[in-house]
Amino acid sequence: MVHLSRRTVLLAGVAWAVTELGPNNVHAQDNARPSLPIPAELRADGGGTIRLDARPGSMRFVGDRETATYGINGPYLGPAVRVRRGEKVVAQVSNNVPETITMHWHGLIIPGAADGGPHQVIPLGKQWQTELTVDQPAATLWFHPHSYPATAQEVIRGLAGLLIIDDEESGRLPLPSRWGVDDIPLIIQDRRFTPDGQFFDRMNYIAVTNGYVGDTALVNGTRYPQARTARGWIRLRILNGSNARSYTLGASDGRSLYVIGSDGGLLASPVELKQLLIHVGERFEALVDGRDGRAFDIVTLPVAQDIMRLPPFDGSLPLITIRPEGADGTGQLPSSLAVFPALPQQLPPMSQELVMNMFRDQQGMMPLKTAGLMAMVKSGKTDPAVVARVVNLIVNDPVLSQTDQLSANGVNGKPFSIERMDFAAARNQDLRWRISEGSDLMLHPVHIHGCQFRIISRDGKPPEAERAGWKDVAPISAGGVTEILVRFPHAANRVAPYMAHCHILEHEDSGMMTQFTV
Ligand code: C2O
Ligand code: CU
Ligand code: CU
């Protein structure tokens, strides 16, 4: 049975917001539009090695200005690495960008020594080699650098890629699975450019409190592309690869998204939604019905994050056009997907508490308030004068000294310190963690390494159906509490501990991260 969530019903009244961008508009602008780039699949070679080469490049994102980029095996972003459950591969990461990086396998359940966290640095010209033994269900994961304190900037320049796990169970389902034909990866990011066409990446109080505020939406590194797909069911593998922005995704003509998978694998059964909220670091796999062959846009609706409502995100913004105009698709929407263990009746006692702190709230939020941002968002009407004042703050507020940056945020009262182990978690045991937000009234998508967990509750309520499966990012509401059930099958020692952090990368780079051993 397709599960029709309560939100589908509640939000049906908002459908008007997207219908104005119907398929007719879409056809009108066809010729000038770029095609959606599909990242190349990369499997282990005959010797079992996956080679990733981080290198500088350049791209034209807007107009004909060249933007200096970083990419992995290409100028921007990386390949889609594909591994199978049970496979043992060697990942060989070469660093040819002019700074120290790391390469973290986000969502992969592997020992700390293979995790690619901030301790496992790869200086320019060096190579890092690690063994990855894949033992977890089929899922859409990703990889990105985890350099402390420069993850945000390295990701902005383009270091990130998909990591897809396949397994037998998912292979037996009739899901669309022809890469780039009816199985379409969508990496959504927002970016801002400096007047000379380079990536904007200033770390000031506005950034370390609010996170990165882009004014251009990119999908797979392209602005408003179009994808020609099979005519039939289409699978979208969606990664919110933005630094800070959440998106509320929907189809321009109101057709449903059937969510089949979350961060760590397939759900028990599809969840039908008109609007899908995706926070940074999260992935969802969703099927859309393109059997009618009619083009539609995937759009993003305004999200309730104050500063993120600046234009062009103050209305419904089209991200990509899907044209299901090719040969007939063969994939189907199964009614049940994965066998899912129910949460245990008897939960273990609380073993860890994590509180997200923002110590420089005032410095980051007050100027926005003074500029009139909160009042504007509340009014629902975009005021160009307010927008100009806020953009001026984003762009011109002074860059922080390293000391100020590193102490702006924290977990459990302390900014991150790479020297200090914060706690130890028991290995191979069901653990109950409580993650909460201090008092700053901001949502934090919190990510934990070395595991896939289940959300027990969020603010006292069970999670939404699309977040009831395997997760590695837990949204913590403003002023709220999320409880999770987590298990760490592998060890992580003091030399290569696991991280738990807010995935708003500007928060992560300014102290909202903690490290632990297993
Ligand atoms: Cu996606 Cu600790 O990172
Ligand atoms: Cu991770
Ligand atoms: Cu945060």
What is the per-residue pLDDT across 373-416, written as a single tens digit (0 to 9) for each?
A: 999 999 999 999 999 999 999 999 999 999 999 999 999 999 99
Determine the longest span between alpha carbons in the chain, in angstroms: 60
* Ligand 1 neighbour 467 (Cβ under 6 A): no
d(CA 298, CA 317): 9
Give the containing element (helix H, strand E) for 368. helix 361-370
Q: Specify the ligand 1 atom closest to the Cα of 508.
A: 2
- Name which of 440, 445, 448 is nearest 458 in CA terms: 445
In sequence order, the 6+-apart residues with CB closer than 8 A to the CB of 1 are 269, 335
Q: Specify the ligand 1 atom closest to the Cα of 281.
A: 1
8 Å CB contact between 44 and 64: no
pLDDT digits (tens, 9 = 90+) for 300-336: 999 878 899 999 999 999 999 999 999 999 999 999 9
pLDDT for 17 equals 37
C-alpha 115 to ligand 2 mean position (Å):
8
C-alpha 141 to ligand 2 mean position (Å):
9
d(CA 60, CA 216): 13
If you take atom 3 of ligand 1, which residue's CA is the nearest one? 106
C-alpha 507 to ligand 3 mean position (Å):
5
Q: Specify the ligand 1 atom closest to the Cα of 107.
A: 1
* Ligand 1 neighbour 279 (Cβ under 6 A): no
Burial annotation 148-168 (CB, 10 A radius, 16+ → b, else e):
bbbbbbbbbbbbbbbbbbbbe
8 Å CB contact between 189 and 144: no
- Tokens found for residue 352: 């860890």
If you take atom 1 of ligand 1, which residue's CA is the nearest one? 106
pLDDT lower than 70: segments of the chain: 1-30
d(CA 116, CA 128): 9
- Name which of 444, 192, 155 is nearest 312 in CA terms: 192
pLDDT for 26 equals 52
- Name which of 309, 300, 308, 296 is nearest 276 in CA terms: 300
C-alpha 411 to ligand 3 mean position (Å):
10
Q: What is the four-CA torsion angle of 445, 449, 453, 457, rounded to 10 degrees?
A: -30
pLDDT for 30 equals 65
- Helix pair 384-396, 361-370: axis angle to 10 deg: 150
d(CA 273, CA 249): 10
Q: Specify the ligand 1 atom closest to the Cα of 104.
A: 3
8 Å CB contact between 506 and 455: no
d(CA 497, CA 255): 44
pLDDT for 5 equals 38
C-alpha 61 to ligand 1 mean position (Å):
26
